[in-house]
Structure 1
Amino acid sequence: MLSSAWHPPRLEARALRVRLKPANMRIFLGLLASLLGFVAVHLFRWGDQYGLPWLMVIVAILTSLYGRGWGGLAAVLALALDGWLGGARHLGWSAVLLGITFVIADLIGRDLRRAYLRQQETAAQLSLLVAALEELSGLGSQVAILRALPELLGRHGEGHVSVWQPQPGGMGLVSAVGLDPSAPSLLPERGVVARCARQGQRVYLGDVRQDSDYIALPNSNIQSELALPLLERGQVIAVLNLERPGPFSPRELEGFEHFAQAVSTQLTQLSERGELQFLNQLSTSLDSATTPVGVAERALALLVGALGLEQGWLWMQQGTRMVALAVYGGETPLTEIPYAQGLVWEVYHTGRPTYAQDYSENPRAIPEFRQAFGGVVAHPVFLSNQERPRVVLSLQQKSPRMWREAEQDLLAAACRTLGLALDGALAAQQRDELIALSHEAAEAPVEEVYRKILETAVRLVPGAEAGSLLVREGATFRFKALLGFDPSLKSHVFSEAEQFHWYAGSAQDWYRGEPRVLSSAHTDLKQFSNEEILVSGRIEEIASNLALPVVYRGEVLAILYLDNLHDPAAFGEDSLTVARFFATPIAALLHEVRYRGLLERAAATDALTGLLNRRAFDHRLEEELGRAQRYGHPLGLLVMDLRGFKRINDSLGHAKGDEALVRVAEVLERSKRDGDVLFRWGGDEFAVLLSNTNLAGATAAAQRYAAAIESVCMEGLALGVNIGAAAYPADAKDGDTLLQRADQRMYQAKSSGVSVMAL
């Protein structure tokens, strides 16, 4: 500790001055009574032998109370007085008795004086400590108490007092009285003060010159130093340091230690009371928030203010990203953290809080923010049924910071309260999103409903970053919505047995709609796939997969697959809980969509042939053209007009004509490839949309369809066809022009007497 040459008054000096004063009125009256007794004996001549005891009393009182000096003087004067008044015949005997009285009184009085001195010192020090503690009790914060201590002790007799707090790199000065102005405000991590902070117990140097770590200023006359730890919940948060030109007495050391313990108790009580008040305030504030964002914003505002920090975030895992649910304060533009970067992802994987005194020195720091952050904490916020914290609180300030245990306890309690509030808000959000999805599905096209169901599932189910939805079509299942996978998967059709194999669970769970999780850490996911979809389905990339059979009245209507491509442990019990919550309303929604689809299909289907009708063609052309434009794929169109149909209708009757149309539809169905969509416009006109097909491919398909139609013969009457082919974008950029170009080529084929006309 660095010191100055200031001379503080000493508590012991005050006690000695008290000791030199007459004890009280009773002592004075005792001496006066003894003297009067002695005079009375000689005045009334009651016997010389009765005068000596009164002198012995006077000698005993003065010797026991004031020591040998006053006692010896009293004995000599008493002997002289006794000899003068009583004669010399008993002088020797009187000297012996007075000497014995002097010795006995001195022996007894020595202990009495020591006890009296201790009592006076204790009373004076107790007065000091009680007065200081009374003043401290009116202060409402830790900082206020630490700043007030030197001044309070200075006013009560201690003039060279300072308070220091642990800081990164040493001990920082909080407040001081009598400290030399040239002394530094940061002490190195050595010396009495730092040693006291490390050991958590009193450190006393009776002679600072004997300590090699003591750093004294020139001309300093400090001899002794006393460092006392100030604790908050058992942790050293500051050191009270006192220095003197002389030593501390054992009773002073004991007294100051008790004082430091009393201050520590007050700091602990203040901290506990403050934590309780803060948690009550936090709970009350969060109770009135209705959304996760509202909960996050209120919690951050309170925590940043209570801890004196500069900026805070509440992160929520969304697949392979940590996305900021809310940000409070500061100017750092950080709203998203990629997978496995920074302290937030470390907390996600370990489930334990991380405190960094200086972010720039942390090996897991995000490089672009190393110099922007100082003290940083990342703390998990656990929600119901979570094995891993998918919500993480992070707080920071620009300067380095040492995190006290009381602050860590406060954050732990606050995060528990925050987790409970978020549980309710997230459950309400999930419910509201499903209600909104049901409302949107009532008006949206079927394909759009499938897409919204999948996007909502990926957003709501913890751990999901990609997914797919397969919907039942008769006895098979087909991809209807994809997120994060190749759209070409939509051309694949699967049997229920194939999907049950991929589910890899029991039949009972399959028909109950129980979700299951597969992890690449324990299972080779390739064994459940075929080579055809190994690449487009990214099977080798999937780290974890959650499958949810969507069941309605005992029938599996759809299978929802959710995937994480990075973390084998991405899905936990919380993911399964949300999936189960998701299953029932989605099953009802898919059933409604299926029923609506049946009605729409009936309205869009030709009753005779079972092919889609002209109304469906108009809708499908716009849809397929939009998809082709979006993904940059070509789109082929064939327009067909039968030859010879009128002759069959006129010669064989309408029934045979209808049969001929049915047979044409059948041969077209047998000849189509995956992705071709057949339509009957009406009468003897048909059309085909060919996805991902250019003009050459469309022309080849037209030749195939023409050959199939020309194979139809009704009682010797053969059918023929004229077909016009066109393709986007080679022939047209919009649907009307594309249809017009194909129609023109169909008429050209008819006038030219050929089956197919493409150019």
Structure 2
Amino acid sequence: MPIPYPAVLVLSLTAIVAVYSLGMAGVYALPWMMFFTAITASIYGLIPGLLSAAASVAGLHLFRSSLLDYLVMGFILFLSAYLAHQVGESLRRAHRRAKQLAQVQEVFLQGLEVVPRFFERHQLLRELPRLLSRLLRNSHLRIWVFSGAGRVELLEAEGPEAPSELVWQALRERRPVWLEPARVAWLPGGGSYELALPLLMREEPVAVLQIVRTEAWRPEELELFSRLAQTIGRQLEHLHDLELRRLLLQVADRLATADSKYEVARTALRSLMPALGMEAGAVLQYRRGVLRGIAWEIPKELRPKLVPLARELQCHQGPAWQAYHSGMPFFTESYSAHPGALPELKQLGFETLVAYPVHTRDAMKGRVVLVLAHRGRLAWTRGRKEILLGVERLLSSALERALQDELYQRINRLLTEAWSYPSQEVYHRILEAAVELVPGSKTGSLWIWEKGAYVCRAAVGSAWDCGVQMGEEGMLEWYAEGSAQALEGRPRIRLGGGEGAEATANLCLPVAHQGRVLAYLNLDSSQDPEAFAEDSLAAVQLFATPIATLVHELQNRAALEEAALTDGLTGLYNRRAFDLRLKEEVERARRYRYPLSLLVIDLKNFKPINDHLGHAAGDWALREVARALLQGGRAGDLVFRWGGDEFAVLLPQTDAEGALVVGRRLLAAIGAVCLEGLCLSANLGQATFPQEARSAEELLRLADNRMYADKRASP
């Protein structure tokens, strides 16, 4: 209940007049004079109180008081004026403090009520100064948003572009800090009191709420503002969780409809980049020793320089390769200072970058690397990392499904299309698919069991040359797991060794069928000693059944083809085989740029043996000629029975001079075939590609013409 100060003043004056009228002593008027003086000093201040005390002392002469009474009562009146002023001032200060505290409490309570109504973090930060400015009179508020790398930005408010030292201190110490008084240049009035409240999310500063006013900060206010900042921080965390949940649901829904790894990667990039504020991004997959782009999102003006890097990243340095080899994410806000930074990215001014390995099941390292970059400097806060981790998990699951589908489709296509290719082409396609699809592979070779030995029938970037043979014991020694494990088709991984001197990791798969190892598939990596892991084993085992099926069928087909291409009497290749191999060998010689010579041989004196000694003797003579041609030739030479008593010999990597030497030797060997005094001889025609002929037809025609010319010239 308020005190009726005017009534007390009137009552005091009335009492003084009554005491004077009754002729009473001044001591009876003293209490009322004290009331009058004290109320005046309490309400209007010390000076009016002292003036009212002086007026009261002057009025004491009406009561005919003594000098001592004047002095005593004057002292009492002046003391009451002073004490009343002090008490009044104290009450006024308490009233102002209570009023201000009530105002701050109102701000706090309304903040608690209003903050949860916002559904976006940016909206909350943008509206916060306006909301609090309506409640905090005579105060100036602004929000400084922390963007990382030593940068803060003023959010939609007037004021200086550079934050005060107190704002930086609040960011560094992550606690409320205040300064009193502080001279703020942009605030009228000069001396002011500043408060900086960091807004934390996941214990990391997101922004700073700066409040400047002309009155000092009291502990109660600081406590309430600190609690308000904590409330805002918790709401920011809640909004971040909601935004992350919405983003992940959206990404999961989009990835569920993605049919290929390209669409999966593109969908993840288009969802993730806006959420993180990134400008450029790519999803890279390790294939055959390089990181190849599955998908990328690059601004139009940057594509000429960045698209080649996104398509294929060969250098084994830099953050992307670091993330691949280590299996750990790489974050940086100063990319240009990194020793492995690519010059193209440095020239374009990229500073913020992440290389994030995408882990699939059973993989010790990320076979896929997600790379995102921004030309400015952005902080890799826990919030951004949580978004990245959540999307990476969805991307990992979707990519694993897409890569598995790709593997199955490629194997099925091999099985369905294999019969439309020659045998050697089938082996090469099998190996290419394995090298491309088995994680960690860069090179490889495929060894097939043929005629008592394993023959290298296909090689991709391997140190082995096709055609090289290895015995069964040698291959088992290389496999090093034992024959029982080989017959079970158990793959093995060897680290620190492999094909050739450069290989550092090898994956060997024995392909067994009906109690025999039909083939060995070798895959290698010359750059990573830990290239192969459980995911590699799981992928390579999918090739076992297709390889066994294809090799078995191809060998059966080869046996049938060999029967169709072999002369039944001599065991040599027949005319049909000659027509096929001639074209193949000419094309091979053209591709590898080596000479190829052809010898055409027509026997002489064969008809007398056949006519006088019988057809059995003639057959014997032909078999002996075939044996002489095979023994007189070299490894790699191809001998054909062209028809009747005519033969042909293909000499790969042999020029004209070398062919003449081989021809003389073969003629001598034929001359040694004799029966009952009848000895054979032959006419010879020779031609060489590309010295003398430019095609298979020209080569055959020239050699045939020379053979007939030799026949006409001989007696």
TM-score of the alignment, normalized to the shorter chain, above 0.5: yes
The answer to which of 651-660 and 114-123 deviates more is: 114-123
In structure 2, C-alpha distance between the alignment counterparts of 1:517 and 1:269, rounded to whole Å: 48
Structure 1 counterpart of 2:332: 356
Please state how far the C-alpha of 1:270 moved relative to its aligned partner: 0.5
Q: Deviations over 1:156-197 (max 9, x none)?
A: 225311111334553423326563xxx2x244xx82111111
Structure 2 counterpart of 1:583: 544
Given the alignment, which residue of 621, 626, 632 partners 2:593? 632
Given the alignment, which residue of 144, 153, 158 partners 1:164? 144
Please state how far the C-alpha of 1:713 moved relative to its aligned partner: 2.7
5 Å matches for 1:225-240?
225-240=194-209
Q: Deviations over 1:278-298 (max 9, x none)?
A: 111111111111211111111
Give 3-state SS (helix, strand or coil) of 2:558's partner: helix
Please state how far the C-alpha of 1:118 moved relative to its aligned partner: 7.8
Given the alignment, which residue of 279, 287, 294 partners 1:325? 294
Structure 2 counterpart of 1:622: 583
Give 3-state SS (helix, strand or coil) of 2:635's partner: coil
Question: Which residue identity is paired with 2:543?
Answer: F
Identity of counterpart residues, as a percentage? 39
Give 3-state SS (helix, strand or coil) of 1:502's partner: helix
Structure 2 counterpart of 1:495: 471
5 Å matches for 1:256-275?
256-275=225-244
Does the Cα contact within 8 Å between 1:710 and 1:719 map onto a contact in 2? yes
In structure 1, C-alpha distance between the alignment counterparts of 2:632 and 2:43, rounded to whole Å: 130
In structure 1, C-alpha distance between the alignment counterparts of 2:450 and 2:691, rounded to whole Å: 34
Structure 2 counterpart of 1:155: 134
In structure 1, C-alpha distance between the alignment counterparts of 2:470 and 2:646, rounded to whole Å: 33
Please state how far the C-alpha of 1:345 moved relative to its aligned partner: 0.2
Please state how far the C-alpha of 1:741 moved relative to its aligned partner: 0.7
Give 3-state SS (helix, strand or coil) of 1:277's partner: helix
Does the Cα contact within 8 Å between 1:467 and 1:561 map onto a contact in 2? yes
In structure 1, C-alpha distance between the alignment counterparts of 2:149 and 2:447, rounded to whole Å: 61
- Structure 1 482/177 Cα, relative in aligned 2: closer, same or farther at 3 Å? closer
Q: Deviations over 1:175-231 (max 9, x none)?
A: 26563xxx2x244xx82111111111111223337xxxxx75697624321111111
Structure 2 counterpart of 1:417: 394
Question: Which residue identity is paired with 1:387?
Answer: M
Does the Cα contact within 8 Å between 1:312 and 1:396 map onto a contact in 2? yes
Q: Deviations over 1:435-482 (max 9, x none)?
A: 111122111111111111111111111122222222221101222112
Q: 1:644 aligned to 2:605?
A: yes
- Structure 1 134/645 Cα, relative in aligned 2: closer, same or farther at 3 Å? farther
Question: Which residue identity is paired with 2:206?
Answer: I
Given the alignment, which residue of 184, 190, 193 partners 2:167? 193
Given the alignment, which residue of 112, 118, 140 partners 2:119? 140
Question: Which residue identity is paired with 1:311?
Answer: A
Please state how far the C-alpha of 1:258 moved relative to its aligned partner: 1.0
Q: 1:385 aligned to 2:376?
A: no
Does the Cα contact within 8 Å between 1:625 and 1:735 map onto a contact in 2? yes
Structure 2 counterpart of 1:533: none
Structure 1 counterpart of 2:347: 371
- Structure 1 218/753 Cα, relative in aligned 2: closer, same or farther at 3 Å? same
In structure 1, C-alpha distance between the alignment counterparts of 2:114 and 2:671, rounded to whole Å: 109
- Structure 1 635/173 Cα, relative in aligned 2: closer, same or farther at 3 Å? same
Give 3-state SS (helix, strand or coil) of 1:224's partner: strand
TM-score, structure 2 as length reference? 0.83
In structure 1, C-alpha distance between the alignment counterparts of 2:484 and 2:588, rounded to whole Å: 39
Give 3-state SS (helix, strand or coil) of 1:678's partner: strand
Give 3-state SS (helix, strand or coil) of 1:160's partner: strand
- Structure 1 730/290 Cα, relative in aligned 2: closer, same or farther at 3 Å? same
Give 3-state SS (helix, strand or coil) of 2:375's partner: coil
Structure 2 counterpart of 1:48: none
Please state how far the C-alpha of 1:708 moved relative to its aligned partner: 2.5
In structure 2, C-alpha distance between the alignment counterparts of 1:67 and 1:242, rounded to whole Å: 33
Please state how far the C-alpha of 1:129 moved relative to its aligned partner: 2.9
- Structure 1 753/496 Cα, relative in aligned 2: closer, same or farther at 3 Å? farther
Does the Cα contact within 8 Å between 2:103 and 2:136 map onto a contact in 1? no
Question: Which residue identity is paired with 1:290?
Answer: D
Give 3-state SS (helix, strand or coil) of 1:673's partner: coil
Given the alignment, which residue of 183, 201, 221 partners 2:190? 221
5 Å matches for 1:59-70?
none
In structure 1, C-alpha distance between the alignment counterparts of 2:167 and 2:508, rounded to whole Å: 62
Give 3-state SS (helix, strand or coil) of 2:683's partner: strand
In structure 2, C-alpha distance between the alignment counterparts of 1:118 and 1:587, rounded to whole Å: 91
In structure 2, C-alpha distance between the alignment counterparts of 1:252 and 1:271, rounded to whole Å: 28
In structure 1, C-alpha distance between the alignment counterparts of 2:235 and 2:645, rounded to whole Å: 97
The answer to which of 561-570 and 313-322 deviates more is: 561-570
Does the Cα contact within 8 Å between 1:471 and 1:558 map onto a contact in 2? yes
- Structure 1 206/710 Cα, relative in aligned 2: closer, same or farther at 3 Å? same
The answer to which of 556-565 and 258-267 deviates more is: 556-565
Structure 2 counterpart of 1:245: 214
Q: 1:125 aligned to 2:104?
A: yes
5 Å matches for 1:404-483?
404-483=381-460
Does the Cα contact within 8 Å between 1:151 and 1:176 map onto a contact in 2? no
Does the Cα contact within 8 Å between 2:606 and 2:618 map onto a contact in 1? yes
Please state how far the C-alpha of 1:415 moved relative to its aligned partner: 0.8
Given the alignment, which residue of 677, 688, 700 partners 1:739? 700
Q: Deviations over 1:358-409 (max 9, x none)?
A: 3222222112221222311111100111111110001112222222211111
Where does structure 1 lack aligned partners over 5 or more consecutive residues? 1-21, 36-58, 73-108, 210-214, 526-536, 755-759
Q: 1:688 aligned to 2:649?
A: yes
In structure 2, C-alpha distance between the alignment counterparts of 1:646 and 1:473, rounded to whole Å: 39
Given the alignment, which residue of 258, 261, 276 partners 1:292? 261
- Structure 1 548/178 Cα, relative in aligned 2: closer, same or farther at 3 Å? closer
5 Å matches for 1:193-212?
193-208=167-182
- Structure 1 554/119 Cα, relative in aligned 2: closer, same or farther at 3 Å? farther
Give 3-state SS (helix, strand or coil) of 2:667's partner: helix
In structure 2, C-alpha distance between the alignment counterparts of 1:692 and 1:486, rounded to whole Å: 21
Please state how far the C-alpha of 1:146 moved relative to its aligned partner: 1.6
In structure 2, C-alpha distance between the alignment counterparts of 1:701 and 1:468, rounded to whole Å: 34
In structure 2, C-alpha distance between the alignment counterparts of 1:119 and 1:677, rounded to whole Å: 111
- Structure 1 485/726 Cα, relative in aligned 2: closer, same or farther at 3 Å? farther
Does the Cα contact within 8 Å between 1:376 and 1:394 map onto a contact in 2? yes
The answer to which of 297-306 and 330-339 deviates more is: 330-339
- Structure 1 715/406 Cα, relative in aligned 2: closer, same or farther at 3 Å? farther
Does the Cα contact within 8 Å between 1:470 and 1:558 map onto a contact in 2? yes
> Aligned pair count?
641
Given the alignment, which residue of 617, 631, 648 partners 1:656? 617
5 Å matches for 1:715-726?
715-726=676-687
Given the alignment, which residue of 138, 153, 174 partners 1:173? 153
Does the Cα contact within 8 Å between 2:147 and 2:153 map onto a contact in 1? no
Please state how far the C-alpha of 1:556 moved relative to its aligned partner: 1.5
- Structure 1 222/715 Cα, relative in aligned 2: closer, same or farther at 3 Å? farther
The answer to which of 286-295 and 588-597 deviates more is: 588-597
Please state how far the C-alpha of 1:67 moved relative to its aligned partner: 11
- Structure 1 177/307 Cα, relative in aligned 2: closer, same or farther at 3 Å? closer
5 Å matches for 1:574-613?
574-613=535-574
Does the Cα contact within 8 Å between 1:171 and 1:186 map onto a contact in 2? no
In structure 2, C-alpha distance between the alignment counterparts of 1:273 and 1:219, rounded to whole Å: 41
In structure 1, C-alpha distance between the alignment counterparts of 2:189 and 2:543, rounded to whole Å: 77
Q: Deviations over 1:667-711 (max 9, x none)?
A: 323333222122222212221222222112222222222233223
Please state how far the C-alpha of 1:267 moved relative to its aligned partner: 0.4
Structure 2 counterpart of 1:306: 275
In structure 2, C-alpha distance between the alignment counterparts of 1:625 and 1:314, rounded to whole Å: 44
Question: Which residue identity is paired with 2:395?
Answer: L
In structure 2, C-alpha distance between the alignment counterparts of 1:126 and 1:481, rounded to whole Å: 82
